[in-house]
Amino acid sequence: MKILAKISSFAGNTFAIWVILVGVISFFYPAGFQWIAPHVGILLGIIMFGMGLTLTPQDFKAILKTPKSVLVAVMVQYTIMPLLAYLLVTIFRLSPEIAVGIILVGCCPGGTASNIITFLAKGNTALSISITTVSTLLAPILTPTLTLLLASEWMAVSFIEMFLSIVQVVLIPIILGFIVRRVLQDQVEKSIDVLPLISVIGIVAVAGAVISVNTEEIATSGLFIFAVVILHNLLGLLFGFLIARLCKFNVTDQKAISIEVGMQNSALASQLALKFFVATPIAAVPGALFGVWHNISGPILATFWSKYHEKNKG
- Please check whether residue 239 lies inside any domain of the structure: yes
Distance of alpha carbon 106 from alpha carbon 87, whole angstroms: 11
- The whole-number pLDDT of residue 49 equals 82
- Please check whether residue 196 lies inside any domain of the structure: yes
- Please check whether residue 313 lies inside any domain of the structure: no
Write the pLDDT tens digit of every residue in 84-135: 999 999 999 888 888 998 999 999 988 777 877 887 788 888 888 888 888 9
Sign of CA dihedral 145, 149, 150, 151: positive
- The whole-number pLDDT of residue 314 equals 44
- The whole-number pLDDT of residue 219 equals 78
Write the pLDDT tens digit of every residue in 7-34: 666 766 676 777 778 888 888 888 888 8
Write the pLDDT tens digit of every residue in 222-231: 788 889 999 9
- Give the type of residue at 273: A
- Please check whether residue 224 lies inside any domain of the structure: yes
- Please check whether residue 39 lies inside any domain of the structure: yes
- Please check whether residue 226 lies inside any domain of the structure: yes
The parts of the chain modelled with pLDDT lower than 70 are: 1-2, 4-5, 7-9, 11-13, 15, 59, 188, 190, 195, 278, 308-314
C-alpha separations of 112 from 51, 83, 192, 203, 296 in Å: 8, 22, 15, 10, 15
Domain extent at residue 256: 2-308
Count of CB atoms situated within 10 Å of the CB of 250: 11
- Please check whether residue 234 lies inside any domain of the structure: yes
- Rounded to two decimals, the pTM is 0.83
- Please check whether residue 314 lies inside any domain of the structure: no
**Interhelix angle 195-212/285-313, nearest 10 degrees:** 140
Domain count for the chain:
1
Domain CATH for 142? 1.20.1530.20
Q: Which residues contact 312 (CB under 8 A, 6 or more apart)?
A: none
